[in-house]
Amino acid sequence: MHVEVNRQHLLDVASACDAYVEVQNREIKIADVTIKNMLARSWKGDDAQKFAEQWENVDSPDSQTVRFRDNVQALGGRLQACEKEYRKAQEKIFNEASRLPKWLI
């Protein structure tokens, strides 16, 4: 079996996953403030109330938003763990090779 992997690319994608989650968290907070200000100042009535109820569910623990964010974050974590395992395997092979008699190398 032959495995070839650029471990840095795994870390780069894991970092991109983390960055995405940070951006999503920041943007949802900005949207939350904007929407709550709008509802407090310039939108009243039944429609506004129903919209507010729906908005409160957007970032609830069981929402698609949170599940997606958690999945992206978990994917990044799995890529980091994968890189660590590849690194350990590479170090093990290097160490084993360095113990070979010099005339075999």
Model pLDDT for residues 35-60, shown as the tens digit of each residue = 999 999 999 999 999 999 999 999 99
pLDDT at 68: 96
Percentage of the chain beyond pLDDT 90 is 84
pLDDT at 104: 62
Instruction: Assess whether pLDDT exceeds 80 at residue 25.
Output: yes
The per-residue pLDDT for range 67-91, each reduced to its tens digit, is 999 999 999 999 999 999 999 999 9
pLDDT at 80: 98
C-alpha–C-alpha distance, residues 105 and 92, integer Å: 17
Q: Which two tokens stand for residue 77?
A: 């974590």
pLDDT at 99: 84
Query: Domain limits of the chain?
Result: 7-99
The number of angstroms, rounded, from the C-alpha of 36 to the middle of its chain's C-alpha atoms is 27
C-alpha–C-alpha distance, residues 5 and 13, integer Å: 13
DSSP H or E run through 74: helix 64-98
Contact 59, 32 (CB under 8 A): yes
User: In the predicted model, what is the mean pLDDT of residues 7-34?
Assistant: 97
Contact 40, 48 (CB under 8 A): no
C-alpha–C-alpha distance, residues 11 and 20, integer Å: 14
Supply the mean pLDDT for the chain: 94
Q: Which two tokens stand for residue 105?
A: 């190398």
